[in-house]
Amino acid sequence: MARLTRYILIALGCLSNYRIVGGLYNDYEELSTDSSSTPEPDPSRSLYKTNATFFMLARNSDLEGAIRSIRGIEDRFNSKHGYPYVLLNEVPFSDDFKRRVSVITPSPVEFGVISQEHWVQSDWIDEEKASQARERMKADNVKYGDSVPYRNMCRYNSGFFYRHELLQKYRWYWRLEPDVKFHCDINEDPFLFMEKNDKTYSFTIATYEIDATIPSLWKHVTDFLNAHPEYVSQNNSMDFLSLTHGRTYSRCHFWSNFEIADMDFWRGDAYSAFFDYLDATGNFYYERWGDAPVHSIAAGLFLRKDQIHFFENIGYQHDAWSHCPLPDSVWEEGRCACNQGNSFDYDVSSCKSIWDRLMSKSK
Ligand SMILES: Nc1nc2c(ncn2[C@@H]2O[C@H](COP(=O)(O)OP(=O)(O)OP(=O)(O)O)[C@@H](O)[C@H]2O)c(=O)[nH]1
Ligand SMILES: *[C@@H]1O[C@H](CO)[C@@H](O)[C@H](O)[C@H]1NC(C)=O
Ligand SMILES: *[C@@H]1O[C@H](CO)[C@@H](O)[C@H](O)[C@H]1NC(C)=O
Ligand SMILES: [Mg+2]
């Protein structure tokens, strides 16, 4: 009897915290309807508490890497929380892809197709001008300089993913890419941390953008700010984005292959106007603007700097670059499998020290 009472209390606790409704969430439905045969709830498997999802953009050919990333985040975090996943692709995922990804996690996994209108180069883009730009960048050995799909991807991640119907029902997202690694146990729910502490955007690695991909970006940002001073936040991160009080771009940006952020910020007036303004220049195609500088500049100017969070405790690896928690206590508590000596934080190519300097200023 005592056991049953305790169980009902736990179930009620879940109910009151449970902010997402819908048929997808089978754990919840089983808990609330079937009391006789339900086993004791496993206290390590708490139900999730925020309106959040993982989000991954991937190609069918990214299958093995997608599996590794999801397996990794399940082991270090999500098997205790059960947050859902949304995977998007501009062509349908194959049955094999869906089958192999779905078996990794008991969480709901939704597979979506991106509409052509959100993905491909708009028809008002001057293809002659765009292809000349690609040729030039190719000759200059700019990474992905001659790629159209890469440009589609950057523009999609800048201005469209959060409008996809499968993401509409969520506020928070955690961006995953194929083949990333999580080095440490993530003991505190980062979504909950963001919500409780009034954070909007977060990062683990900050670095410099390649000059040749954004020749005119800062000029257009400046024009936008002059036209819309009302969107600029007090106590923003301008001194991270510019070392010349706004005259020039530092090229510092948050590395957006990892993001935990609030999609309602991207959906809001400031960012919508900003993205539309940038998009209308055509420079996602005539140059090669990345979603990382675009997101970072917006977060840096339209948010207070204290709404942007550096996740020290999330050990993260993308390609050769990693963030490994530097404080020993954090590293030990996370049982981290990374070498602190390899952390990118204070590498010459890192912008973390510029971020630290901004955060240590009083306002
Ligand atoms: N569906 C789809 N996804 C793509 C395409 N290009 C890239 N992606 C995804 O978009 C994300 C970023 O692409 P990446 O190729 O990793 O780009 P990157 O991280 O800037 O560059 P790398 O340093 O090479 O990893 C990843 O999640 C890819 O799986 C594409 O043409 N179609
Ligand atoms: C989750 O967030 C989205 C976007 O803000 C919102 O439309 C939706 O109603 C929210 N769902 C719940 C259950 O709060
Ligand atoms: C900006 O910082 C100052 C000084 O700390 C503070 O008084 C003010 O309220 C802050 N403004 C906003 C919008 O948070
Ligand atoms: Mg990548």
Q: Name the E strands within 6-84.
A: 52-57
State the pLDDT at residue 363.
61
Which atom of ligand 1 lies nearest, measured to the CA of 257? 19
Cβ neighbours, 10 Å, residue 354: 18
225-246-156 Cα angle (round to 5):
55
Cβ neighbours, 10 Å, residue 319: 9
Cβ of 169 less than 6 Å from ligand 2: yes
Distance CA 301, CA 22 (A): 36
Q: What pLDDT, in 10s, does the model give residues 82-130?
A: 999 999 999 999 999 999 999 999 999 999 999 999 999 999 999 999 9
Across the chain, which has 363 residues, the per-10-residue mean pLDDT values are: 40 36 33 39 56 98 98 97 97 98 98 98 98 98 98 98 98 98 98 97 98 98 98 98 98 98 98 98 98 99 98 98 98 98 98 98 75
Considering only CA atoms, which of 182, 209, 205, 247 is closest in space to residue 353?
205
The residue contributing the CA closest to ligand 2 atom 6 is 169
Which atom of ligand 2 lies nearest, measured to the CA of 19? 13
Reduced to 3 states (helix: H, G, I; strand: E, B; else coil), residue 259 is: strand
| Structural domains of the chain in order of their starting residue, each with its CATH number | 127-146+198-258+268-360 (3.90.550.10)
State the pLDDT at residue 24.
37
Cβ of 143 less than 6 Å from ligand 2: no
- Whether the Cβ atoms of residue 307 and residue 200 lie closer than 8 Å to each other: yes
* Residue 304 CB partners (closer than 8 Å, separation 6+): 233, 234, 235, 236
Statement: the pTM of the whole predicted model exceeds 0.85: yes
Cβ of 235 less than 6 Å from ligand 3: yes
**Active-site residue list:** 259
Distance CA 80, CA 267 (A): 30
Which atom of ligand 2 lies nearest, measured to the CA of 264? 5
Q: What pLDDT, in 10s, does the model give residues 22-77?
A: 333 333 333 333 334 444 444 444 555 899 999 999 999 999 999 999 999 999 99
Residue 243: C-alpha distances to residues 3, 57, 220, 305 (Å):
61, 33, 18, 16
The residue contributing the CA closest to ligand 1 atom 10 is 57
Cβ of 20 less than 6 Å from ligand 2: yes
Q: Output the CA 304–ligand 3 centroid distance in Å.
A: 9
- Amino acid identity, residue 1? M
